[in-house]
Amino acid sequence: MMRVLRPGLLTTVQDLGRVGHQRHGVVVGGAMDELAHRVANLMVGNDEAAPTLEITLVGPSLKFEADAVIAICGGDLSATVAGWKLPLWRPLRVRAGTVVDFGGARQGCRAYLAVAGGWDVPQVLGSASTYLRAGIGGHQGRALQAGDTLAWRAPGPLAQAWLAQAAEDAVEAAPWSVSYQIRPDYRPQVRVRVIAGPQADWFTEESREAFHAAVFTVGSQSDRMGYRLQGPTLSLREPRELISEAVTMGTLQVPPDGNPILLMADRQTTGGYAKIAQVARVDLPLVAQLKPGDQIGFDPVSLAEAQRALRQRERDLNELAAAVRGLPGISWRSRARAG
């Protein structure tokens, strides 16, 4: 069992989302940084869809009351044990009684904590993801609070083998980690690839050129639903009406004020604003780690190029999953500061 000593700014249970219910108006939700969530699960021998903790901007203090294998992936939120900095993107074995403390964001803004076996929370409409606006999923449909406890399910064979080894320290790190080929390069200024949206030709030529040439700033009115971007005002060639149609994570829609909205995990199911572009799925982890004040630019690519990049990432993840499954018993490197 894990006990929340301090909840942090926003710590919720997330998985890969509530898929298959958009026709009923139910948002997909799920982890903002899907890649970090999936890798954290793979590191501890879970199915990549198992629930993780999504930790945002300022992290919690968590006490593990039983031995566990965990992994922390995504942004660097200053995770420590007894003052020792924990390595990211690798499995960690924690002993019962260990307190893992998170601080403020040093790189990115969201970390994902997976535990071998997966967090034991009920599913709602096939998903454990917390959707705060509806108060469903996760732990009682809300962010974690001080005093909450979360259990986890039985770990798989690989994690059980690791837990069976004698432990000397409160935290021990595996002597291997995820390659830098898979880890995103989280930065406060990023350029991401975008595919032309279905209404891109509704915009003036000047607006289309400005959209790709400019750098936009993530506004303060940004959250898991979407980012309001500040930059050049984008204009339609003529006033037009659009019947609401499906949107997805990474859709860039432009309301009448001309300031784009970049839709994220908790986006609505449909939108009635013109869509100038769609962020390539392979680059969404970079977007997910932006916070207000960070900057983003958009480089045009073809659909074929975006699909090719995504297929390569999926091959890399499949190879990682196969490598983890094939690991024999390993000798753990001692102390949290290792690595």
Mean pLDDT confidence for 285-296: 98
The residue ranking higher by pLDDT, 161 or 50, is 50
Reported confidence tier of residue 338, pLDDT bands at 50, 70, 90: very low
Give the model's pLDDT for residue 230. 97
Give CA–CA dist 188/125, Å, rounded: 35
Reported confidence tier of residue 337, pLDDT bands at 50, 70, 90: very low
Give the model's pLDDT for residue 168. 77
The residue ranking higher by pLDDT, 158 or 56, is 56
59, 78 contact by CB (below 8 A): yes
Q: Under CATH, to which class is 189-301 assigned?
A: mainly beta
Give CA–CA dist 280/263, Å, rounded: 13
Reported confidence tier of residue 163, pLDDT bands at 50, 70, 90: confident
Is the per-residue pLDDT at 14 higher than 70?
yes
Is the per-residue pLDDT at 229 higher than 90?
yes
Length of the chain: 339
121, 138 contact by CB (below 8 A): yes
Give the model's pLDDT for residue 309. 97
Give the model's pLDDT for residue 299. 98
Is the per-residue pLDDT at 330 higher than 90?
no
Mean pLDDT confidence for 8-34: 95
Task: Please state, for a pLDDT cut of 90, what percent of the chain lies above it.
Answer: 84
- The tens digit of pLDDT for each residue in 180-201 reads 889 999 999 999 999 999 999 9
What rounded mean pLDDT belongs to the chain? 93
Q: Where are the domains of the chain?
A: 2-185+317-334, 189-301
DSSP 118-135: -B----BTTB---BTTTT
Give the model's pLDDT for residue 280. 98
Long-range contacts at 314-321 (CB < 8 A, ≥ 24 apart): 316/181, 316/182, 317/35, 317/38, 317/39, 317/42, 317/48, 317/182, 320/39, 320/42, 320/178, 320/179, 320/182, 321/42, 321/48
Kindly report the CA angle at 141 between 137 and 143, in degrees rounded to 5? 115
- The tens digit of pLDDT for each residue in 39-84 reads 999 999 999 999 999 999 999 999 999 999 999 999 999 999 999 9
